[in-house]
Amino acid sequence: HDSRKEMAQDVQTFYRELPKVELHAHLNGSVSSATVEKLVASKPHLNIHQNMTAIRGGQRRTLDECFQVFKVIHQLVDSEEDVMMVAKDVIQEFAADGVKYLELRSTPREDGKTGLTKRSYVQTILEAINQCKEDGLDIDVRFLVAVDRRNGPEVAMETVKMAEDFMLSSDGAVVGLDLSGDPTVGHGKDLLLALQKAKNAGLKLALHMSEVPSQNEESELLLSLPPDRIGHGTFLHPEVGGADSLVEKVRKNNIPLELCLTSNVKGQTVPSYDKHHFLYWYQLGHPCVICTDDKGVFCTDLSQEYQLAASTFGLSNEAVWTLSQRAIACSFAPQDIKNQLEQKWTKLRPQILH
């Protein structure tokens, strides 16, 4: 029996109907089991089974094991036609879950066998975004080009140049740059130049930061940019070994945090939901955005994450609504789109918040 379906039914209608903003979603980690089934069927020679691509209810994995799961998914998604299907499915699933604005992120990938290039990889995702728009889906989708820290400074610089090109040619679809990848590999100082270049070009920066302990020095460096948003920030605050100076910088620059509860608990960087750092920042009144990170791998969706936050920290529907609406301001959307989203929330409020 599929615990995922059970959970989906358990999520109260309020959270499903709640209009939502998703700002931290890795494309390949967001691939649902239904899409994985289609991919597996089209590549029987790979011998990949469902259980290799998802971390189900109650399961925990080390961060390293989580990255192994992504490697499996990358094997399944190796051509333009795969990328197209995956991107469209993911966008449709977010829309079905009540997400009205979505920022997807992904590292440009190439594959010699299929002729996929880094540029065509991004182009295909942008084409999928366009097709969903033409299909009239009620969701505005933007894209962040991701720099994988494992690949070092040269590749980072190439990726930034490509992101700049797309920012200028994608009609507003490419809005920023993500720094991600295995946090235990490499050092942020080697990527600082590339990140600075991206910032100077007008790309917004969403940086994974302090995902694992004892990265205070790197976090100080990255915060000096400063980034426009922080991914996770699990170990920034002093209660878990961070430094007061880090918290001060984050607060002084009012940098929103993208917080992913299930991902952190299943990936074991946070011991339990009630110990999640959401509470620390939320109580400070700091901008916090609830996100999924990898809804496919961690078997969740944004409605479920909101309900988890609400039940764990005792948030009223009113508080949840405010949390959702405040995410609009944290997005990298142009101001006119932000205004339209604010209007949408205002209009939906009396129908949903009884």
Residue range 96-152, pLDDT digits in tens: 999 999 999 999 999 999 999 999 999 999 999 999 999 999 999 999 999 999 999
Identify which of 183, 143, 188 has the alpha carbon closest to the alpha carbon of residue 162: 143
Whether 145 maps to a domain, the answer reads: yes
- State the pLDDT at residue 67: 86
Picking from 121, 207, 128, the residue whose alpha carbon sits closest to that of residue 166 is: 121
- How long is the chain? 354
Distance in angstroms (rounded) separating the CA atoms of residues 138 and 23:
16
Structural domain boundaries enclosing 61: 3-347
Burial class (CB in 10 A: 0-12, 13-18, 19+), 299: buried
CA dihedral 178→149→286→27, nearest 10 degrees, is: 40
Q: What is the CATH number of the domain that holds 72?
A: 3.20.20.140
Query: Does 301 reside within a domain?
Result: yes
Domain tally for the chain?
1
User: Does 211 qualify as catalytic in the annotation?
Assistant: yes
For the chain, the distance separating the N- and C-terminal CA atoms, rounded to the nearest angstrom, is 34
In a domain, 352, yes or no: no
Q: Looking at the domain assignment, is residue 231 inside a domain?
A: yes
**Beta partners for residue 209, in sequence order:** 232
Are residues 261 and 308 in contact, defined by beta-carbon separation less than 8 angstroms? yes
Q: Quick check: is 353 in a domain?
A: no
Asked if residues 118 and 156 have their Cβ atoms less than 8 Å apart, the reply is no
Residue 4: the pLDDT is 46
Of the candidates 22, 93, 164, 211, the residue annotated as catalytic is 211
Domain presence at residue 311? yes
Residue-level pLDDT at 6: 45
User: What are the distances in angstroms from CA 119 to CA 18, 125, 197, 216?
Assistant: 36, 10, 19, 34
Residue ranges in the chain whose pLDDT is less than 50:
1-9
Task: Report if residue 354 sits inside a domain.
Answer: no
For residue 256, is it within any domain? yes
Measured at the alpha carbon of residue 155, what is the angle toward residues 208 and 246, in degrees to the nearest 5? 25
Q: Looking at residue 5, what is its pLDDT?
A: 47
- Give the pLDDT score at 10: 65
The sheet carrying 99-106 orders its strands as 20-26, 99-106, 140-148, 174-180, 204-209, 229-232, 257-259, 288-290
Residues 6+ apart with CB under 8 A from 12: 307
